[in-house]
Amino acid sequence: MKYLFLIYSNPESWEHPIFQRDPRFLALSQDERDELLRDDEALYKEFTESGELVGGVALGDPMDSKTVRVRDGVPATTDGPYIETKEQLAGYFVFDCDSPERAAEIAARFPDARFGAVEVRPIMDMSGQEM
């Protein structure tokens, strides 16, 4: 089954990987930061080689986004995301996992889960069936 991993963060500056801008990451010793970065690279390699990682992208700064709504047939466009929250959607990955438990296990290994949040959602096809 395919799962969408939504990466949320409250970055000081919008550069990727987002977790590197988190004050808690920056408070780690240099050795701890280096180890976490090596672990992060190893994760991507592991999940690519296993075939579980289908793809993903980092998103641009929320301040550069637009929200479009159509009310009574009239489109209205506003700057930025609609949500009023400190955490913003920073990017996403698609994984193909054997179970919801495996998807959660993978998400827990992301550094982003340590410093922000990783939401895991099953992907449905156009008929409403989970893929």
CA dist 127 and 20 (Å) reads 39
Q: Which fold has domain 2-122?
A: Alpha-Beta Plaits (3.30.70)
Closest CA to 109 of 41, 59, 54: 41
19 or 12, which is more confident: 19
Record the pTM.
0.84
CA dist 34 and 52 (Å) reads 25
pLDDT in tens, 57-105: 999 888 888 888 899 999 999 887 655 667 788 999 999 999 999 999 9
Domain segments of the chain as ranges = 2-122
Say what the pLDDT of residue 122 is: 96
Sequence-distant contacts of 35-38: CB under 8 A, at least 24 apart: 36/111
Torsion of CA 34, 36, 38, 39, to 10 degrees: 160
The rounded mean pLDDT for the chain is 89
